[in-house]
Structure 1
């Protein structure tokens, strides 16, 4: 029953009296007010008259959910076997309260048909109703109630997917292949392995993805062979599957894909990075750092920077020859300080005529971080700036106005005018409506304390200079900031307002390396309208240390949809101040996808004070951050959250059930072992594994219950 209706029904009960006349109650069943009809059903049920069963049957079809809920209770109290089918229908009602009342009513009938309805509907209902169904079966004295319905749900899913794989249409078979793989059963692997060579590429790719989810390393060899195929979808599925199977033996084959500079090369690198660290994976990453595409090589080298670096002799050999110098320089740029012994072989390339090699050398020496090269970089900067001086000279000598003239401001409200035609009148109405929407959005942002990002007003006009032509200058500006060159702060401040996005981005990133004063200037750039600039700057601020991280945290409440960029940078950065808890909790309270990243960071900084906020976030039924919130609660380890987390062991989504089980293990909770033991029969391998791991620490289910 809706909680809001209960006080009203109780008030009506007092008005009508505890023993309201039967005639009045019958009349109330025809009332236009649903709360009056619901109260009449409840009072008639209390009278226990068998002849009223027909009245409750009619009430079960009422348009109001509170009436149907009371009808379900009344039908259950009758314990008449004839009402089982009707209660089964109410168990499928669109209202969860009606579903729950129908489930408890079926538990009072206590026959096999009622039990069958409860068992069948467990796999079709949401979390709340699933909990009630288990409780209803317990009330009906069904032993191992949850284990029985979980096993029945798993059997139904297996039979359905198996039938679809063999008899369904092609799109249905594709979905069934993936779902069978998620079961992780040996039989699923046996059925999917022959399909990896199916003539239908989409079915073969689905089988490969299913084998990846199955987690059976018997499939590694067959899947690895598919990396030689020419179908991009099949190769992509194979890489994803190998990443999930976590077998370092596939590193060599993935290395070949990673260095081929194709569309799937980044996926191959991600797969190698996901493997447990072994000499084979390190060798593969070092090979990619030398021979991969520039962005792929940088990603591999950065990964090896944290692992102690790569062998330097092969890189030095590349640096000795012009034909291979580019690959050597990009490897040094990724490895950074660990490549310090190669600095003497890198600096000669700063004087090359080839602009590409020269800029790669600038990136490399900046990454190494040796200030000895600053004089050379300053000289290069002066040459580059002088070469662009003529191209960027002002052709409008006077200062440009920074406000729009009358009638030209696109954000100003147009003055009312008499439309010259019906078309003009419609255009005027649409413009007026659009202006009102903009004004309302601006007011909402202001009320919420968010900064409204506005387009930059050009302060100067330059002759057209392509962005690519400015990249060398931007590279030098960023390098001077990175190496903290003398005078770099004032120089980069000047470029921080430049009209060129590459130069402005480079200056802002360089400023983040110049201490608190530089960060104070750079932080304003986070409100720039250019999304790529925002992303690059957010990453630089997160990596610059506590001052940059605090700047990002202070900007968060003022941002709208750009919060994701900042939170992603903080999540991937080297650290987050403990003071971030309050701001991040505010993001969690707002909900949305941003709450997921905020929960991840809260867990990372062990913000124990965030536990109540995270618990409250679980009240939102359809939260996209639910999985991350559960895992965060587990990481924070507060056992007081165990009961709330355990509710999601009944969730209809397997990833949520698995996250709840994992969270319970992390917090060391041992009071929900009956439910965890039941999930060991779940259809999905990830849920079974998580439940088994959660039980392993506390021993058997019975031991955990004690």
Structure 2
């Protein structure tokens, strides 16, 4: 009797205890604190009581994300087909953690409807959720899980864009034309080609842009014909598309646009600069160096420096005649040291009475950097200073007064108005500066240095164009390292004329460490145009200038972009700059993108931890450049973290991740790489198709 009573007593005790615990959980699920409610949902789910499904359904609508996340998990544990639609809603939750838990919960239900929700939402969610969806489908034993969702996303995008192109309003058709082109599908190209002649220019331009992204060489010829159109938007789109299509056969047509000196000429020059080097592209750039507008001519000439320069005979022919000398000189300015053979043809123009030609000749010999012209530049400098002396320094031929007049003496008692007092105060300040100028003149008598700074109130009346010849000479003296150039240029660093001051600071960048330091210090001034000019000058000085630029970064504030942009135009900075560039990456923003590019070019392995850490910021604007930098550095340990971005919702990020993994060549992430060969975007497919992994070399080559 006793033996049967004892087990019954224990069972009743446990039942009472469980019920007590359950009552407590039922109370806690209504607690005002979300963490308590979430914990209660989790504990109730562990009890696996079918009657609690209604509680979990209610918790799925909770205002707190942590409660909704636990509710999603609880609904999944129930494996009840009735919860699939609710979990589908949670898969679209505003909180990414809730989305992930809903995805895993749907996988536990294991119904076709649940898989359909997962497949549909893959193309609509962010990176973290997309990755979890693939994991969920794998756990549900879906074969080729990622390839399945990638194909579904691709199909959905194609159908939506095709529908918009055929049935949408004009703005929708414009967007659809561009998006269809990005797919690179043959059908997209067949639909877009006839549209380049559409009567609605905005739609034709969109079709042209789409064909540029499509990358099909069939589009080159019809797009090149559009360069003859009169509509600026259509011409711009055509140039942009030809740049993307990268077909050097269009270089001649682009050259014609580049030398017409129109609003789109710079775009045409930029397009040719991106083309693979061929005799046609070299010829086009040399033609632009001669006949393009000044900015495009200099850019084309600079590009030809690394290619050995341009043929000398056509330039020499231009230099032999006054009517065409200007074009020959501007070509030499761009070509720089590669045109030294033309120095005998250039130097005679230093003695020409025509100010414009003489100034252009000074720029030409400056770009060559040949020290043999130093005496000629010094002579011209002395002549120019003498010619400007009357305008800039001897504006009062008589001696300056040494005492205040009664009406201007600041110490004299006044009964005037505040306005008159203010005016008199300004006059007194100017008088003090003139007195200082008198003293400086006396001390500087007989010295071969720059006159003291003239008050800007009196020197600003000089037309800046009259100062340009002197400005070009100042830069030239520094570039050829003329004797005494350092002292002369230092004398102009406080000049009232921005033109002369900027030219002197640029010249100082060429004359050694002291000059570089003065130029670097001037970078901290607020004049953005001056900053750009000086940054580019320092970047051209090689290691010393680049180190100085990077050293200026901590004090540049929001102007770091100026320095970083200049550095990207030069060769890779020295390894010693890595630490400071990493600081910029850590600070984030647009500057981090340029800093990452530079670290990638440097192959800075010490920067890998910093670059990987920056990937933790899901909102980083530098993400693409950081991924490419990691690929350029080629650190195999980065592959796992880089591989996560193969699931990113932005195609340019997926492409960057695939490109980086290709360069690492570790064989990592082979499955998602293979799945992305079905991606909607041609950019991604190209990046993945080029990936050569250890496990996929044979298969990749067979495709």
Q: CA deviation at 1:562?
A: 0.8
Please list the CA deviations of residues 133-160 of structure 1 after superposition, one character each: whole Å capped at 9, or x if unmatched.
0000001000000000000000000000
Report the 3-state secondary structure (helix = DSSP H, G, I; strand = E; otherwise coil) of the residue aligned with 1:561.
helix
Alpha-carbon separation, structure 1, partners of 2:502 and 2:690: 47
Alpha-carbon separation, structure 1, partners of 2:591 and 2:19: 55
**Structure 1 residue 294 and structure 2 residue 290: aligned?**
no
Report the 3-state secondary structure (helix = DSSP H, G, I; strand = E; otherwise coil) of the residue aligned with 1:339.
helix
Q: CA deviation at 1:372?
A: 2.1
Alpha-carbon separation, structure 1, partners of 2:371 and 2:681: 55
Please list the CA deviations of residues 539-569 of structure 1 after superposition, one character each: whole Å capped at 9, or x if unmatched.
1111112221111111111221111111111
Gap runs ≥5 in structure 1: 1-16, 400-456
Report the 3-state secondary structure (helix = DSSP H, G, I; strand = E; otherwise coil) of the residue aligned with 2:458.
coil
Q: CA deviation at 1:462?
A: 2.6
Q: CA deviation at 1:303?
A: 1.1
Partner of 2:554: 557
Alpha-carbon separation, structure 2, partners of 1:261 and 1:129: 51
Partner of 2:414: none
Q: Which of 523, 527, 547 in structure 1 is aligned with 2:524?
A: 527
Q: Give 1:222-233 correspondences, 5 Å limit.
A: 222-233=222-233
CA shift in 2, pair 1:45/1:701, >3 Å: farther
Q: CA deviation at 1:699?
A: 2.8
The number of residue pairs the alignment matches comes to 631
Alpha-carbon separation, structure 1, partners of 2:585 and 2:93: 32
Alpha-carbon separation, structure 2, partners of 1:86 and 1:229: 56
Partner of 2:103: 103
Partner of 2:279: 279
Partner of 2:242: 242
Q: CA deviation at 1:571?
A: 1.5
Q: CA deviation at 1:313?
A: 1.1
CA contact 2:272–2:285 (8 Å) conserved in 1: yes
Partner of 1:454: none
**Structure 1 residue 82 and structure 2 residue 79: aligned?**
no
**Structure 1 residue 67 and structure 2 residue 67: aligned?**
yes
Alpha-carbon separation, structure 2, partners of 1:96 and 1:256: 53
The TM-score normalised by the length of structure 2 is 0.88
Partner of 1:465: 462
Q: Give 1:642-657 correspondences, 5 Å limit.
A: 642-657=639-654
CA contact 1:677–1:695 (8 Å) conserved in 2: no
Partner of 1:365: 365
Report the 3-state secondary structure (helix = DSSP H, G, I; strand = E; otherwise coil) of the residue aligned with 1:562.
helix
CA contact 1:339–1:368 (8 Å) conserved in 2: yes
Alpha-carbon separation, structure 2, partners of 1:297 and 1:703: 44
Please list the CA deviations of residues 489-542 of structure 1 after superposition, one character each: whole Å capped at 9, or x if unmatched.
000001112122111111111001001121122111111111011011011111
Q: Which moved more, 1:367-376 or 1:146-155?
A: 367-376
CA shift in 2, pair 1:375/1:695, >3 Å: closer
Gap runs ≥5 in structure 2: 1-16, 403-452
Partner of 1:152: 152
CA contact 1:394–1:462 (8 Å) conserved in 2: no
Q: Which of 641, 653, 674 in structure 2 is aligned with 1:677?
A: 674
Q: Give 1:63-462 correspondences, 5 Å limit.
A: 63-393=63-393, 461-462=457-458
Please list the CA deviations of residues 459-481 of structure 1 after superposition, one character each: whole Å capped at 9, or x if unmatched.
65433122222111100100011
Q: Which moved more, 1:612-621 or 1:372-381?
A: 372-381
Please list the CA deviations of residues 94-133 of structure 1 after superposition, one character each: whole Å capped at 9, or x if unmatched.
0011000000000010011000000000000000000000
Q: Give 1:8-27 correspondences, 5 Å limit.
A: 21-27=21-27
CA contact 2:572–2:598 (8 Å) conserved in 1: no
CA shift in 2, pair 1:306/1:18, >3 Å: farther
Alpha-carbon separation, structure 2, partners of 1:233 and 1:398: 63
CA contact 2:654–2:684 (8 Å) conserved in 1: yes
Please list the CA deviations of residues 217-256 of structure 1 after superposition, one character each: whole Å capped at 9, or x if unmatched.
0010000000000001100110111111111111111111
**Structure 1 residue 56 and structure 2 residue 63: aligned?**
no
Partner of 2:611: 614
Alpha-carbon separation, structure 1, partners of 2:110 and 2:666: 34
CA-atom RMSD in angstroms: 1.8
Q: CA deviation at 1:20?
A: 6.2
CA shift in 2, pair 1:97/1:18, >3 Å: farther
Say which one has the larger Rg. Answer: 2
Q: Which of 593, 598, 602 in structure 2 is aligned with 1:601?
A: 598
Report the 3-state secondary structure (helix = DSSP H, G, I; strand = E; otherwise coil) of the residue aligned with 1:391.
helix
Q: Which of 683, 690, 694 in structure 1 is aligned with 2:691?
A: 694
Q: CA deviation at 1:312?
A: 1.1
Report the 3-state secondary structure (helix = DSSP H, G, I; strand = E; otherwise coil) of the residue aligned with 2:206.
helix
CA contact 1:395–1:461 (8 Å) conserved in 2: no
CA contact 1:477–1:510 (8 Å) conserved in 2: yes
